[in-house]
């Protein structure tokens, strides 16, 4: 459902005009639904009014409107389009929680695999050869360096050039993941960031980030949470870099989407 003007509850429902799902049990004969859990569907900036379809092979697939009500009138000229739809997402429920994964057919568009394992990230932004682009499917595993304290912050920056970038950052001491587009090229004081409380395993976190020219969708722990945002950054800004305040170890697998 897509309620409007909601008050936040902890780290849930910060969009005001957001989306939520109700999970519970349904008794068919009496048509009685018993709610057992509720949660945000998307923890990012731009996601509203999702619709679902049932595929012939039995998958429940959802697509959302990748926009938020507070930026509807801020169309930048001279683009001939405004707004877009999210990736189709396969839905499932595990242990009373909604999970979302990019529809499996997306993997058929993957090309040019590049991977690194055990890369130490510390201090200044790190660029890796072959890790760049604006139509990208990228899997990250972030972990503490062996024998070292948890880093204070880890960030991946994308759609990046000398002036612009969008970032997804993780603070393990606070268990907070944030998407932030304030340096993406926006010329207005619009909604630029959202934070989500995430689960981590001793400071380790797994992310899948899908970039589609003017959008980013970040899937946490195989879809346990998702953060979505649109960006208005020139396509020439195609850099990707990694940063740690402290020290972290990174595994990354990146594909171009063709």
Percent of the chain at pLDDT > 90 equals: 83
CATH of domain 112-257: 2.60.120.560
Specify the higher pLDDT residue, 250 or 190. Answer: 250
* pLDDT, tens digit, 9 for 90 and up, residues 82-118: 779 999 999 999 999 999 999 999 999 999 999 999 9
Own/partner pairs for 164-173, CB < 8 Å, 24+ apart? 164/233, 164/234, 164/237, 165/237, 165/239, 165/241, 166/216, 166/229, 166/231, 166/233, 168/207, 168/209, 168/216, 168/218, 168/227, 170/142, 170/198, 170/200, 170/205, 172/144, 172/200, 172/203, 172/205
- Would you state the pLDDT for residue 147? 77
pLDDT for 17: 87
In this prediction, residue 183 carries a pLDDT of 95
pLDDT at 7 over 80: yes
Q: What is the mean pLDDT of residues 27-56?
A: 96
Query: Domain residues of the chain, as ranges?
Result: 20-104, 112-257
Residue 77 pLDDT: 65
pLDDT at 80 over 80: no
Tell me what the mean pLDDT of segment 142-157 comes to: 92
Evaluate whether 72 touches 65 at the Cβ level (below 8 Å). Answer: no
Is residue 76 predicted with pLDDT exceeding 70?
Answer: no
pLDDT per residue as tens digits for the range 113-127 = 999 999 999 988 999
Judge whether residue 73 has pLDDT over 90: no
Helix (H) or strand (E) holding 237: none
**pLDDT > 90? residue 71:** no
The b-or-e profile of 29-43 (16+ CB within 10 A means b, else e) is eeeeeeeeeebbbbb
Please, are residues 127 and 254 in contact by the beta-carbon 8 Å criterion?
no
Instruction: Dump pLDDT digits (tens) for 180-233.
Output: 999 999 888 888 999 999 999 999 999 999 999 999 999 999 999 999 999 989
More confident residue, 51 or 187: 51
pLDDT, the chain, mean: 94
pLDDT at 75: 67
């Amino acid at each position: 459902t897509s309620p409007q003007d909601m008050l936040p509850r902890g780290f849930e429902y910060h969009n005001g005009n957001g989306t939520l799902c109700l999970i519970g049990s349904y008794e068919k004969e009496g048509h009685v639904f018993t709610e057992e859990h509720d949660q945000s569907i998307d923890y990012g900036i731009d996601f509203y009014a999702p619709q679902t379809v049932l595929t012939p092979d039995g998958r429940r697939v959802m697509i959302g409107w990748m926009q938020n009500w507070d930026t509807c009138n801020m169309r930048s000229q001279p683009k001939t389009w405004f707004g877009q739809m999210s990736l189709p997402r396969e839905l499932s429920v595990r242990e009373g929680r909604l999970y979302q994964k990019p529809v499996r057919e997306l993997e058929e568009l993957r090309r040019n695999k590049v991977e690194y394992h055990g890369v130490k990230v510390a201090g200044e932004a790190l660029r890796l050869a072959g890790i760049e682009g604006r139509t990208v499917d990228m899997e990250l595993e972030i972990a503490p360096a062996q024998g070292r304290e948890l880093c204070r912050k880890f960030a991946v920056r994308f759609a990046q050039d000398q002036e612009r970038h969008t970032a997804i950052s993780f603070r393990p001491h606070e268990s907070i993941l944030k998407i932030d587009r304030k340096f993406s090229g926006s010329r207005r004081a619009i909604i630029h960031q959202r934070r989500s409380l995430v689960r981590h395993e001793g400071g380790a976190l797994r992310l899948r980030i899908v970039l589609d020219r003017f959008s980013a969708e970040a899937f946490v722990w195989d879809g346990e949470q998702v953060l979505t945002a649109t960006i208005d950054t020139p396509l020439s800004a195609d850099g990707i870099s990694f940063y740690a305040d402290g020290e972290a170890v990174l595994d990354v697998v990146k594909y171009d989407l063709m």
